[in-house]
Every structure is written in structure tokens, then in C-alpha cells.
């Protein structure tokens, strides 16, 4: 089967699966509505009616070999979309998006508060969902909500931060999971500090002359444990090197849009402003005009300078292969046209690829059709006409 036929056939299979999922949802919604209407017409006490409605959900769950929770989720999310974003439901009906993407959009629609935000979601989410992975869609939805309703999003984040905690779960093999619920910005800072500290550990122990055979994950786990055991402080001072982009007008407080981490996760503008006042903060201007002055500056050598490397990290966000979420600090800078064949070391010829996809490209198994556009630092969405 040639490539074009495989693409067409694959798209038809995907669409057929999505339509089959829609038919399941539509059956559940219509049958549930019909039976509930019958129950509501009966002259009975409220408790009896409530139990009868639960029986309807249980019957559907048994018929579909699924759980009552999943059945109720279909009913509730369909009702949310019918009320707030009917265009998304129609995209589901057409097979443009599948059940998982529909559910993710419905969850966001439920949390949005204004009709203007519902309209922006309805007119933009189906198009994005149809061309991106589920993980990319969920990240995009978080950014969109933070941009559309920054005050409500920040209030929710503040309530969630009040629930921050640590938990320990013991396994049966002598290990345990140490879990901490933290603000997103702090979690990113901790992860970045661990990554850099692990990379800085010499491969040869200077005291013994022996090779350190630990993996990167093992080094990070050991550092994490050592820091917690040895540190007695109670007040932290953020010293990790993390990168966050934010619009100048948001930083100055004229608007309240979120900051974005390198991998596209939104963080509150108030936290970014507080971070910017730290004596350790370094502010760099990143010009995001279409010409990309920094990115398109050609360097007459194979290895790009650090300024160009950082700019490319900001531009791409993650590995450029569609659907790959490898963070930029785990990627290589690849020349689209080989340097030995006359390719320039410039923003127009360089892109971030994780090691796996870089190796595929080097051996001729990665083509431009596999690549996605760079990360957008300004969210694009359409409002209702």
C-alpha cells in the first residue's frame, strides 16, 4: 500500500471509529432522556424517582459492558455541549473528533463561565482537536481557558494550592512512591534543578576513580532524597533556572493573561510577576515578530551559539515531530538540510528533534510530513461570527 492510500485509508478508519463512538453516546443520551422523561411523568415520591433514574444508568452500563460512572459521564458531557458548545457535538457527529477529545472539550466547557468563552471554545476547539493529539489538546485547552478567563482560572488555582500536600505509598518490593502536590511553577523549577544537577554529576567519581553507572533517573532520585534528608530550611528561595514567557502587557499588569512554560503549560501572571522581582531573575526580550530576527540570523559554523539555541527552544517548545511531547532540553538541534550539503546554521534550517526522531531522520526515515508547526506563544482562537 503506497503512502497516499495509507493516509486516506487510515483517516477513514479513524473517522469510522469516531462515528461509532458518537452512535454509542447518542444511544445512551437518547435512551436515558426517554426513560427519565417516563419516570418524571409518574406520580411518585422524589426518592423513588431518583432510584429509578439510577436504575436506568445501571441498565445502560450493563448493556454496554461499561461502568455507571462512564454512562453518566456521556449523559452529563453531552448535555454540557448541547447547552454551551453545540458545534463541538456536531463535529463529533461528523467523525471529525473522537470521544476522548469530545470529553476533554466538554470538561473545559463546563468550567468556562461566560457565553463569550463558550463561543470561542466552540469555534476553535474542534479544528485544533482534529489535527492534534489528545495530550496536545488538553494542554491547549488549559492555555485557552487561562487566556479567556484569567481571573476565574487563578481563583481555581489558588483553591487547588490550598490543598497542597505530600503522600507516601509503599510498594511490595521495598520501594515507595513519594508524591507531592505543588503549584505548577514550583514543580517545573524542582524538575529543572534536578535535571541540571544530575547532568552535572561527573561520570568518573573523583574520589574513587570509578565510573558512575547510575542512569539519569537514578541520579535524580538519589539527589532528591539527599536534598530532603540534608536540608533543614523551612523557607525556600527559588534558584532553579526555568524559562517562562509572558506578554509585556501581562507582566506589567495591564492585562492578566498567563505565562507559558517551555512545554506550553500556563502559570499565573501574578506568580510570574512575583518571580520577576526576585534578585536572581534574568529577563530576556524575545521578539516574536514574523521575521524572527534572532532565529533567522545565520551562523557560519556547524554548532549554533547559545543565544540561537535558546531562541530555537522557545520557538519549538518540544520535539517538532507531530504528537511527540519530548521537552526541548532532551532534544538535539537538527539541520533540515545537512550542513555538509550546504545547509545553514540558522533558525530557518534548524529544528528541535528528540534523539529517537533525530536518528530516524539521519537514516532517512523522517520526512517533513511528520513535523508539526512550532509552538505558538500567542494562542489563536476564533470567536463567533
pLDDT (mean) for 226-250: 70
Does the CA dihedral 123-126-131-135 come out positive or negative?
positive
Structure confidence at residue 368 (pLDDT): 86
Q: Does 166 reside within a domain?
A: no
Q: Is the pLDDT of residue 47 over 70?
A: yes
Q: Does 112 reside within a domain?
A: yes
Residue 6 DSSP one-character state:
H
Q: Are residues 19 and 103 in the same domain?
A: yes
Q: Does 143 reside within a domain?
A: no
pLDDT (mean) for 273-281: 72
Structure confidence at residue 327 (pLDDT): 85
pLDDT (mean) for 298-326: 81
Q: Are residues 12 and 116 in the same domain?
A: yes
Q: Are residues 49 and 119 in the same domain?
A: yes
Q: Are residues 301 and 375 in the same domain?
A: yes
Rounded CA gap, 144 and 158, in Å?
18
Q: Does 263 reside within a domain?
A: no
Q: Does 175 reside within a domain?
A: no
Q: Are residues 26 and 127 in the same domain?
A: yes
Residue 50 CB neighbours (<10 A): 12
Structure confidence at residue 119 (pLDDT): 94
Give the three cell numbers for residue 258: 498567563
Residue 39 — very low, low, confident or very high, per pLDDT cuts 50/70/90? very high
User: In degrees rounded to 5, what are phi and psi of residue 121?
Assistant: -65, -45
Domain that holds residue 82: 3-131
Q: Are residues 85 and 8 in the same domain?
A: yes
pLDDT (mean) for 224-234: 79
Q: Are residues 7 and 110 in the same domain?
A: yes
- pTM of the full predicted structure? 0.75
Q: Does 250 reside within a domain?
A: no
Which CATH number covers residue 375?
Answer: 1.10.30
Q: Are residues 120 and 192 in the same domain?
A: no
pLDDT (mean) for 318-327: 87
Residue 287 — very low, low, confident or very high, per pLDDT cuts 50/70/90? low
Contacts of 284 (CB under 8 A, 6+ apart): 310
Q: Is the pLDDT of residue 303 over 90?
A: no
Q: Does 100 reside within a domain?
A: yes
Residues 107-156: tens digit of each pLDDT: 999 999 999 999 999 999 999 999 999 998 999 999 999 989 989 998 99
Question: Taking Cα atoms as reference points, which of 103, 119, 85 lies closest to residue 25?
Answer: 103
Structure confidence at residue 25 (pLDDT): 97
Q: Are residues 7 and 119 in the same domain?
A: yes
Q: Are the C-beta atoms of 303 and 351 separated by less than 8 Å?
A: no
Q: Are residues 28 and 119 in the same domain?
A: yes
Q: Does 181 reside within a domain?
A: no
Domain count, the chain: 3
Amino acid at each position: 500500500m503506497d503512502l497516499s492510500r495509507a493516509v486516506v485509508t487510515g483517516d477513514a478508519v479513524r473517522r469510522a471509529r469516531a462515528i461509532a463512538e458518537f452512535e454509542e453516546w447518542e444511544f445512551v443520551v437518547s435512551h436515558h432522556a426517554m426513560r427519565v422523561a417516563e419516570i418524571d411523568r409518574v406520580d411518585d415520591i422524589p426518592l423513588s424517582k431518583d432510584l429509578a433514574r439510577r436504575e436506568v444508568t445501571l441498565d445502560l452500563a450493563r448493556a454496554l459492558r461499561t461502568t455507571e460512572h462512564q454512562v453518566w459521564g456521556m449523559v452529563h458531557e453531552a448535555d454540557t455541549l448541547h447547552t454551551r458548545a453545540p458545534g463541538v457535538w456536531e463535529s463529533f457527529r461528523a467523525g471529525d473528533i473522537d470521544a476522548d477529545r469530545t470529553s476533554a472539550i466538554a470538561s473545559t466547557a463546563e468550567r468556562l463561565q461566560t457565553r463569550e468563552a463558550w463561543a470561542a471554545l466552540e469555534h476553535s476547539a474542534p479544528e485544533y482537536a482534529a489535527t492534534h493529539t489528545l495530550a496536545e489538546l488538553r494542554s491547549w485547552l488549559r492555555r485557552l481557558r487561562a487566556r479567556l478567563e484569567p481571573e476565574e482560572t487563578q481563583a481555581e488555582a489558588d483553591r487547588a494550592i490550598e490543598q497542597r500536600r505530600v503522600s507516601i505509598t509503599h510498594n511490595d518490593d521495598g520501594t515507595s512512591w513519594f508524591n507531592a502536590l505543588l503549584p505548577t511553577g514550583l514543580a517545573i523549577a524542582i524538575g529543572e534543578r534536578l535535571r541540571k544537577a544530575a547532568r552535572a554529576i561527573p561520570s568518573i567519581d573523583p574520589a574513587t576513580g570509578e565510573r558512575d553507572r547510575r542512569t539519569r533517573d537514578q541520579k535524580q532520585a538519589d539527589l532528591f532524597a539527599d536534598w530532603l534528608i540534608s536540608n533543614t530550611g523551612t523557607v525556600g528561595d527559588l534558584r532553579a533556572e526555568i524559562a517562562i514567557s509572558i506578554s509585556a502587557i501581562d507582566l506589567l499588569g495591564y492585562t492578566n493573561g498567563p505565562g507559558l512554560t517551555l512545554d506550553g503549560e500556563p502559570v499565573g501572571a501574578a506568580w510570574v510577576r512575583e518571580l520577576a522581582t526576585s534578585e536572581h531573575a534574568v529577563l530576556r526580550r524575545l521578539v516574536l515578530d514574523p521575521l524572527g530576527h534572532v532565529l533567522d540570523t545565520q551562523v557560519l559554523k556547524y554548532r549554533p551559539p547559545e543565544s540561537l539555541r535558546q531562541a530555537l527552544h522557545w520557538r519549538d517548545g518540544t520535539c517538532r515531530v507531530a504528537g511527540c511531547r519530548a521537552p526541548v532540553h532532551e532534544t538535539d538541534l537538527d539541520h533540515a538540510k545537512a550542513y555538509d550539503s550546504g545547509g545553514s546554521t540558522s533558525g530557518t534550517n534548524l529544528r528541535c528533534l528528540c534523539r529517537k526522531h533525530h536518528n530516524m531522520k539521519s537514516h532517512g526515515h523522517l520526512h517533513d510530513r511528520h513535523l508539526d508547526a512550532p509552538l505558538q506563544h500567542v494562542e489563536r482562537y476564533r470567536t463567533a461570527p
